Structure 1
Amino acid sequence: MPPIHRQLVDRVAIGRYEEEVTHPSAIKSFVAEFISALIFVFAGQGSGMAFAKLTDGGATTPAGLVAAAIAHGLALFVAVAISANISGGHVNPAVTFGAFVGGNITLLRGIFYIIAQLLGSVVACLLLWFSTGGLTTSGFAVSAGVSVWNALVFEIVMTFGLVYTVYATAVDPKKGDIGTIAPLAIGLIVGANILAGGAFSGASMNPAVAFGPAVVSWDWGNHWIYWAGPLIGGGLAGAIYELIFISRSHEPL
Structure 2
Amino acid sequence: MPPRRYAFGRAEEATHPDSMRATLAEFVSTLIFVFAGEGSILALDKMYRDTSTGAPPSGLVVIALAHALALFSAVSASINISGGHLNPAVTFAALVGGRISLLRAFYYWVAQLLGAIVASLLLRLVTAGMRPVGFFVASGVGEFHGLMLEIVMTFGLVYTVYAVAIDPKRGSLGTIAPLAIGFIVGANILVGGPFDGASMNPARAFGPALVGWRWKNHWIYWVGPFLGGGLAALIYEFMVIPTEVPHHTHAPLAPEDY
Question: Shorter-chain TM-score: which interval?
Answer: over 0.9
Aligned to 1:160: 155
- C-alpha RMSD over aligned residues: 1.7
Q: CA deviation at 1:12?
A: 2.2
Q: CA deviation at 1:60?
A: 5.3
Q: Does 1:16 align with 2:37?
A: no
C-alpha contact (below 8 Å) 1:103/1:251 kept by paired residues: no
Per the alignment, in what secondary structure is the counterpart of residue 91 of structure 2?
A: helix
C-alpha contact (below 8 Å) 2:93/2:158 kept by paired residues: yes
The equivalent position to 1:103 in structure 2, one of 76, 86, 98, is 98
Q: TM-score, normalised by structure 2?
A: 0.91
Query: 2: distance between equivalents of 1:59 and 1:102?
Result: 44
Q: TM-score, normalised by structure 1?
A: 0.93
Any residues of structure 2 matched to 1:1-253 within 5 Å, and which?
10-19=4-13, 21-56=14-49, 61-246=56-241, 247=243, 248=245, 250=247, 253=253
One-letter code aligned to 2:25: A
C-alpha contact (below 8 Å) 2:159/2:236 kept by paired residues: yes
**What are the Cα deviations for residues 90-141 of structure 1, in whole angstroms up to 9, with x where unaligned?**
0000100011111111111001101100000000000000111101110200
One-letter code aligned to 1:33: E
Q: CA deviation at 1:63?
A: 1.3
Q: CA deviation at 1:77?
A: 0.2
Q: Whose helix proportion is higher, 1 or 2?
A: 1
Q: CA deviation at 1:17?
A: 2.6
One-letter code aligned to 1:40: F
* Aligned positions, number: 246
- Structure 2: which 5+ residue stretches go unaligned? 254-258
Per the alignment, in what secondary structure is the counterpart of residue 194 of structure 2?
A: coil
Query: 2: distance between equivalents of 1:55 and 1:214?
Result: 22
C-alpha contact (below 8 Å) 1:11/1:251 kept by paired residues: no
C-alpha contact (below 8 Å) 1:11/1:249 kept by paired residues: no
One-letter code aligned to 1:13: A
Percent identity over the alignment is 61
**What are the Cα deviations for residues 30-81 of structure 1, in whole angstroms up to 9, with x where unaligned?**
0000000000000011111111111227775421111110000000000100
